[in-house]
Structure 1
Amino acid sequence: MAYANLTLLKISRTLLPIAFCFASYGSFAQTEKQIHIIKDKYRSSKLGVFTNDLKRNFDKENNNLLQAAKANGWKLKERLADGNFSELTAIGDDGTPLYYSTFSTELNTATRANALHDNGLLDLGINGENMLVGVWDAGAVLTNHKEFGNRVQTLDESEIMDSHATRVTGILVAEGLDKRAKGVAYKAKAVSNDWRRDKIEAAEMAANGLLLSNHSYGIMSDRVPDWYFGSYIQVSRDWDKIMYNAPYYLMVTAAGNSQKSKDNESPIFGSASNGFDLMLGFATSKNGVTVAAADIETNDQGQLLRASVTTYSSFGPVDDGRIKPDIAAYGTNIYTTGIANDTKYETANGTSVAAPGVTGSMLLIQEYHEQMEGSFMRAATLKGLVLHTADDVDAPGPDYKMGWGVINSKSAVEVIANKGFSSIISEETLLEGETKTYKVVANGTEPLTASISWTDPATGAVNSGTLNDMSAALVNDLDIRITKDGKTFLPWKLNAAKADAPAVNGDNRVDPFEKIDIENAQGDYTITVTHKNTLNQGPQNFSIIVTGVALTNCVLVTPEDIELTTSDETAVTLNWTANTDALFQIEYKEKASSEWNVETTFDNFISLNNLVEGMDYSLRVKTFCSENISSEYSEEYEFTFKGSETELLDYMEYETLTLEVQFSIFPNPVQTSMTINGDVSEDAMYKIVSLNGIVVKSGKAEQKQIYIADLTTGLYVLTLADLEGSKSIKFYKS
């Protein structure tokens, strides 16, 4: 397919020196300790060498670009008729001018990110605090928009203030002063860069702890020969190399809006009008996440009611058969920040606005994991978790239109919360010739699902002109299998030559993510992870996620049949229905007090000592099946302690009240002391409880400052209580 012969615009571009102050960047995002932990796992020398190579080549390539543009009459920049912005950014190996273009045409409930927010379905208070996201786009963000406060910063002195970049950043981090424009990670911070030096800047920021970046642009589909579509080319490999050497960093990109364009006249499947085989550039990278746009409807419980790919979203596959796009998100009529002034809003459609919904959701998932586990996930783990928990649409398994389905942030964090009870999330390393084996028991209440995900080394070979080249870009081919009673269950796979056919189970030789689903699973299963051939560049890190398993004999039920069995002058003994492998937490207090005493036991009975004769008491019991998973509390019971004549009264006929005042804590994680943010009544008390149920600190909350340097590292629960009731929040002591 020929590209248009364009006229050179009389525009000069001054290449400004880019000065990054990474000390200020570190304080702008994650903590220095968190950044150090991330950087310690990186192949820093290889990443540094590659970054220096990119820098050395940039000026030379840019000069060649300007000369070629002048000689051939190519436009350097252009505002397109549909409002998108394009710019000449590179010349392909075959001499094709490559134009980057934004992908807009012309949220929160659709990604289920709102379930994580303050007052969300899960009531987690995960809003993006102390998290940072990178935004590369056509130009700079309008940083002084009222929705951004001081949370958005421009790092590369971009010449162009861009409406597209401002819309994308609003979807990510807008505060929500206008509730309709509330960003997915609305308390996070963002850094803005234009796309001219995207690889160099992303590599430098990834080397300094950046976890996620959003790229809602790509190569224009109407200006390249047909062989480019679905090809693994140099820019695909470059981004894979960055992610391989910085294994906590993940790139998220838009799939493109070319479904109806008929730009690929020689697709690997069907005809140009079918919309398949339209992936271009870094959208074909192995290790990144490519996002399709979907029309989505959910209910108020976060359940997907319906979803369908939009009429513009570009379809895969990659020519080697890999599953692209990876995931789908809402992309229609999204209300977000505009550029006309600092109070302007706009409505946008496209994969450009679907992508930041995924990027922002992943940022929240990382934040939640760090709070719960004390560390961030590798990029392969995060990617694997999002694909593993996506809502499947239409036929079982993935497809080349919406990948593994619609992103479901709520399901992703529930898998993290269920770790050790009904889910496994484990970051592993596979040695040359090694087989990893995992014995699991299906819980019988949900499908048994197992997946592996890995960041694959950048391949040494790229396509330089072969139409529909099906050579696999995958370097290290890992395999997952599940066996039971002589039967082997295989992962999902797709066939590029039959792109509209449903997924089948078989030996997947092309994707760096493999997933097996077993419906109606019962009993014992064996999961194995192996590899084919040799492992390039030494041992291969991978992540395994398993759901639908029973990891303990604990049954997550609220304790019932609570009885007072014995009593003497200072104590009472309680018992309840037994529950194998459960930890029970008992809270009791003097009825007039706002502070609960906490006891724990693995038995189905406990003695409460040092009680005061004539005093009225309240008590309640809950079941813990893992450190994160517990039942609801039982009904509250009350009794008046009368020594040996004490009797347990019927449960109280009112519901437990919760504090109407909302509060948060800062910082979180915390090292020395933390501050309570919110209106705290003068009679409010606080207590800090470890996950084994021990109260480690308590006192009056009125001062709002709590010193916790004397606590050991770990996860705790802070509870505020007053006469209105109580409310709790988790925090991590680092």
Structure 2
Amino acid sequence: MICSQALHIFFLHFLILPDQSLSLPRRDSDILSTGRGTGDDSKDAHIHSASWGGATNSYTGQARNFDNFMFKNDDFLILVAAGNSGRDGLNSVGTPATAKNILSVGAHNSVKSASGGLGPTYVADFSSRGPTADGRMKPDILAPGKFLVSAGADPENPGSCDDGSLTDKPFRSGSSPGLLSLAGTSMATPATSGSAALIRQYLVEGWHQEGTKGSGQSVQPSGALVKAILMNGAQFMEGVDDGGFTGNPSPVEQYDTNQGFGRVSLMDSVFIANKTRVQIAFFEDAVEDGGEHTYNVTIDKSGGCSYPELRATLVWTEPGSQSGCKFCLINDLDLTVTKVDGNGMVMETYYPNGKNGRDTTNNAERAIVGNTKDGDQFVVTVSGTNLESDRQKYAVVMSGCFGGSAVSSAGGNAFEDDDSNDRRKFILIGVGAGVAAILVFIFCICCCKRRK
């Protein structure tokens, strides 16, 4: 987990039964309320990381409980591991990662391997796939999960860390005493929770206005806003790791069941002057049934920003649905981005989540406009299309060039420099050529013996 100064962390202990299942508290609220109600909001838990779950792909009573807890505590964000059943194919994400309001986290590879493994722009082969049984997009987002190195615990002494002497325990290495390396969405989820904590700190400390601490007003964000910022900056993957050394990676599509919105990228999520690539703007409001809120956006690259896209992401936290629901969305909001000319005439309309029209299934929507030019004008619209309640709160985030000083690139990084697939092809060609040479050599020997 990414940590910052003065971070408060609360832990829960679950009992592991002989069959390796977990014994959970009877009430989900007992799990989720841990660390809250301290009397000091700055010390209360606002983010919950759950690296556990079941195999049921439908919307369960537990998913409903998680959704209701977030709805009643809108400053709270729950992140849940999508699961490690990706090799089973579609619909392998399991409860409570099937909940609506939570952030369901899948895994991608961590680093490229000299032995021919695929790098960090590829979905991990084990990462569970969506959609949910009622057709919603899951996982929502991806983070590194194969492999992550962390401090090792002493299994014989609960609450104690490995002092470096437990090299005989599983996943330990004599070359890195006290550390262990593991793979799974259980690793990706706390990594994403750390990113969520940094975003919350970013907002509370008022970095958002000019990209420096205190340049803007302190914001006490909703869980929906933190979630929206993470999802808005997420970047699409190159493919899915096939889990083997040979063969090509499987293809991915934008917003598909493998990757959702893509991998976490704080570089593309927040504005830090002269450090990151985008500026952001955000709003929290409530729209009435049949109502409409509009936000005017003008692309301004005068400050040196050269980011090519305008992104807009809408997230709302709504009440839990009935367990087993076939259509689980209760309040249907819609996001559109419209490009207009100087007279306000519509030139083009962009819809969210890779669709050619409204998204009637998910409560997180993102629209991306590419190749924006200085002076381009857009209208971002949030509509209360079909609500069961009178009003629905929401958070909307926009990113792009809005006049601030941003960098076009922060230098090379593991994602932009990921040439692992090309290297793997080169290795495979080399191996294949070597095998072919050996076979030719054997064939020649056999021929010579026959002639004799």
TM superposition score category, shorter chain reference? 0.5 to 0.7
Does 2:41 correspond to 1:200? no
Q: Residue 539 and residue 133 in structure 1: after superposition, are their counterparts in 2 closer, same or farther (change >3 A)?
A: farther
Contact 1:136 1:198 in 2 (8 A): no
| Structure 1 counterpart of 2:351, one-letter code | P
Does 2:182 correspond to 1:331? no
SS in 2 for 1:438: strand
- Match for 1:424 among 261, 281, 299? 281
Q: Residue 416 and residue 314 in structure 1: after superposition, are their counterparts in 2 closer, same or farther (change >3 A)?
A: farther
TM-score by length of 1: 0.43
Equivalent residue number for residue 489 of structure 1 = 349
Contact 2:235 2:265 in 1 (8 A): yes
Q: Residue 138 and residue 319 in structure 1: after superposition, are their counterparts in 2 closer, same or farther (change >3 A)?
A: same
CA positional deviation for 1:242: 0.2
- Match for 2:394 among 517, 542, 551? 542
Equivalent residue number for residue 217 of structure 1 = 52
CA positional deviation for 1:133: 3.8
Return 5+ residue gaps in structure 1 as ranges: 1-107, 114-126, 140-158, 166-192, 222-227, 263-274, 299-304, 464-468, 494-502, 557-628, 631-734
Equivalent residue number for residue 530 of structure 1 = 383
State the alpha-carbon separation in 2 of the partners of residues 533 and 488 from structure 1. 24
Q: Residue 377 and residue 416 in structure 1: after superposition, are their counterparts in 2 closer, same or farther (change >3 A)?
A: farther
Does 2:290 correspond to 1:476? no
| Bigger RCO (CA 8 Å, 6+ sep) | 2
Q: Residue 347 and residue 422 in structure 1: after superposition, are their counterparts in 2 closer, same or farther (change >3 A)?
A: closer
CA positional deviation for 1:379: 0.4
Contact 1:318 1:324 in 2 (8 A): yes
Does 2:195 correspond to 1:361? yes
State the alpha-carbon separation in 2 of the partners of residues 135 and 385 from structure 1. 26
CA positional deviation for 1:412: 2.4
1:174-573 mapped onto 2 (5 Å cutoff): 197-203=27-33, 205-206=35-36, 209-219=44-54, 221=55, 228-229=56-57, 231-260=58-87, 262=88, 275-297=89-111, 306-340=120-154, 342=161, 343=163, 344-372=178-206, 373-394=217-238, 397-414=254-271, 422-443=279-300, 445=306, 446-459=308-321, 461-463=322-324, 471-484=326-339, 485-493=345-353, 503-522=354-373, 523-536=376-389, 538-550=390-402, 556=405
**Percent of aligned pairs with the same amino acid:** 24
SS in 1 for 2:78: strand
Q: Residue 306 and residue 133 in structure 1: after superposition, are their counterparts in 2 closer, same or farther (change >3 A)?
A: same
1:245-283: CA deviation from partner (whole Å, max 9, x where unpaired): 0001111111111122x4xxxxxxxxxxxx110122211
State the alpha-carbon separation in 2 of the partners of residues 352 and 479 from structure 1. 32
State the alpha-carbon separation in 2 of the partners of residues 422 and 462 from structure 1. 40
SS in 2 for 1:545: strand
Contact 1:137 1:194 in 2 (8 A): no
1:295-353: CA deviation from partner (whole Å, max 9, x where unpaired): 1349xxxxxx8411112111111122211111111112322222336314322111111
Q: Residue 369 and residue 512 in structure 1: after superposition, are their counterparts in 2 closer, same or farther (change >3 A)?
A: same
CA positional deviation for 1:487: 4.1
State the alpha-carbon separation in 1 of the partners of residues 274 and 232 from structure 2. 15
Larger strand proportion, structure 1 or 2?
Answer: 1
| Structure 1 counterpart of 2:30, one-letter code | I
SS in 1 for 2:127: coil
Q: Residue 492 and residue 137 in structure 1: after superposition, are their counterparts in 2 closer, same or farther (change >3 A)?
A: farther
1:52-71 mapped onto 2 (5 Å cutoff): none
TM-score by length of 2: 0.67
State the alpha-carbon separation in 2 of the partners of residues 374 and 417 from structure 1. 21
CA positional deviation for 1:135: 4.0
Return 5+ residue gaps in structure 2 as ranges: 39-43, 113-118, 155-159, 164-177, 207-216, 239-251, 340-344, 408-452
- Which one has a bigger Cα radius of gyration? 1
Contact 2:228 2:397 in 1 (8 A): yes
SS in 2 for 1:458: coil
State the alpha-carbon separation in 2 of the partners of residues 387 and 246 from structure 1. 20
